[in-house]
Amino acid sequence: FFEKDNEQLTELITTMHKYCCYKLNIRKIELIKKAFYFAYEAHKSQRRASGEPYFIHPLAVAKKLAEYGFDEEVVAAGLLHDVIEDADVSKETLEKLFGKKIADLVDGVTKLTRIGHKSHVKNLQKILLATVGDPRVIIIKLVDKLHNLSTLEYLDERSRKKYAKMCLEVYVPIAHRLGMHKLKDEMEDLAFKFAYPEEYEKLREKVFNRAEALKGVLNEVSETLTNAFQKKRLNAEIIIQPKTLFSIHAKMNKLHKTLDEIFDFLVLLVLVNNVDDCYKALGIIHQHFIPKPKKIKDFIAVPRNDLYQSLHTTVLTPEGNAVKIYIRTKEMEKIRNMGIIYLLHKSKKHPIEIQPIWIKNWLKSLGEFLSDYKGKSNFLKVLKADFLGETISVFVSGREKISIIKGATPLDVAYAVSEDIGNRCLEAKVNGKTVPLWHILESHDSVEFKLADKPVVKKEWLDFVAMVKTKSLIKKALKKIEREINEPKYANLRLKLVDKPGVLHRITKIMFDEQINIISVHSVLDGYPHICNLTIRYDNEKQLEHVIEKLDKMSEVLDLNYHIL
């Protein structure tokens, strides 16, 4: 065992002592040592694309997990996360050596296979399914992806782009949904660099050239606010915070703007001690700088679905420069950076045994999504569009709060509540006012529905609903309606007839004129009146209505009863 590897082990344990949110003892440290040596031996003969020992990868993952404050189980799983996949170690062996919890974590992040697009989808489904049982699985996987992104330069260009785009499309949004913004920011800029290298370099150069001038403006605002806060005895820390290059790139594309038209690629972050101080700081800022009214947002009173809380304001300097400012508490900043990790640590118990309600709700929605779409051909499409997209919260009938993608309509909400409500939706009210079904909802809107007695699905609905799942349910309902229309229908008619020549001939002619087939005829001629039982096949309700109407008008028909078969 090389001396530098012993140094790496010492560094890992030191990192755990520094950041771990759980008490460490000799037994736990021995478990880490055991996992370290085992992973080292398992990967000893393997090399990464860079030519370096493969072991540097699981070690880097374990260190990152230690920096995130995780306990010995998760750090050990980080060290061991590739031994099943790449070193032919069985799950049973891991369970025998390290216990069931660690073996389950390692198995959760292990791929089923490594060949083809379909295998990528199956592997993702497996990881997400394991995450429903233990959310730490996806955290280990995200850290694994982050380190792989940091070493992508050693792969060929095609492989680099493919891996980076997959991370941007799937794993970055997962990190965002889990509130892990620090990891998300690191991951998306690394992925942007390799997925779109030309765009990345051009934007990086432009941002660098403009940053110095903007920093000067922000420093002046920061100095003014520091003095103002001190006079009001408000304890606050002011930081100049850059936005990620990818978020700038995405904003430019979304708004069809150039970098010269975007001012907030650098923002001021004001950190205070408590919520009251957030609002005090906002008031002081607006006393010294003119705010832009439509740019003031309160994500403290109305938190976002990804756990994010903050006050946002955009102010104008005396020279007319626009400056965006975020105000939040230090705890909000920790939650903003760590998200689900912070909540798991705060619960102080094993995440499977007790979880904050936000985590439970997210895992429940993930489980429901997997139940609906696991194994289906459009799994990845729906995952990206519906489950990983930016979300808002709305209230149904003023009570039930549901999370739905941004840009959703009342009809999307109706189908999210239940398929039956969606199919029978006639009209909607938003915040007490009747709106078209294509109305775009905003966060915390209250939605009510007026329902028909039976399905009223229209093909035009497909033109404006936002969610892939909604479109699938509408198409399903339309197919069912079409099938019901085209399927032959049967009915029995019981007629009491006058004994008169040609009566049956007239009845047969009515059926022929309405294009209705007589399947069978059974007449009882004994007694009076005569009884005639007909079994008919028809295509739609109007046909049957016309026949009944014509038969009723016949003077020879004394009585008529029918029932649908």
- Phi-psi group of 433: left, alpha or beta (phi > 0 → left; psi -120 to 50 → alpha; rest → beta): beta
Could you give the CA distance from residue 552 to residue 565 in angstroms, rounded to a whole number?
A: 21
Could you give the CA distance from residue 39 to residue 94 in angstroms, rounded to a whole number?
A: 11
Which residues does 313 contact at the CB level (< 8 Å), separation at least 6?
282, 285, 286, 291, 292, 295, 296, 297, 324, 325, 327
Query: To the nearest 10°, the Cα dihedral for 302, 306, 310, 316?
Result: -100
Could you give the CA distance from residue 548 to residue 492 in angstroms, rounded to a whole number?
A: 12
Output the DSSP codes for 35-89: HHHHHHHHTTT-B-TTSSBTTHHHHHHHHHHHHTT--HHHHHHHHHTTHHHHH--
* Beta carbons of 31 and 75 less than 8 angstroms apart: no
Could you say which of 41, 67, 72, 85 is catalytic?
Answer: 85
Strand partners, 532: 495, 523
Which residues does 105 contact at the CB level (< 8 Å), separation at least 6?
73, 74, 77, 81, 134, 136, 137, 140
| 412 catalytic per annotation | no
Could you say which of 5, 86, 95, 220 is catalytic?
Answer: 86
Question: In degrees rounded to 5, what are phi and psi of residue 426?
Answer: -95, -45
Strand, helix or coil at 143? helix
Could you give the CA distance from residue 218 to residue 503 in angstroms, rounded to a whole number?
A: 97
| 7 catalytic per annotation | no
Could you give the CA distance from residue 513 to residue 324 in angstroms, rounded to a whole number?
A: 76
Could you give the CA distance from residue 258 to residue 140 in angstroms, rounded to a whole number?
A: 37
Which residues does 217 contact at the CB level (< 8 Å), separation at least 6?
317, 319, 321, 323
Could you give the CA distance from residue 430 to residue 358 in angstroms, rounded to a whole number?
A: 26
Tokens of 423: 């199919």
Strand, helix or coil at 491? strand
Which residues does 367 contact at the CB level (< 8 Å), separation at least 6?
132
Residues annotated catalytic, as ranges: 85-86
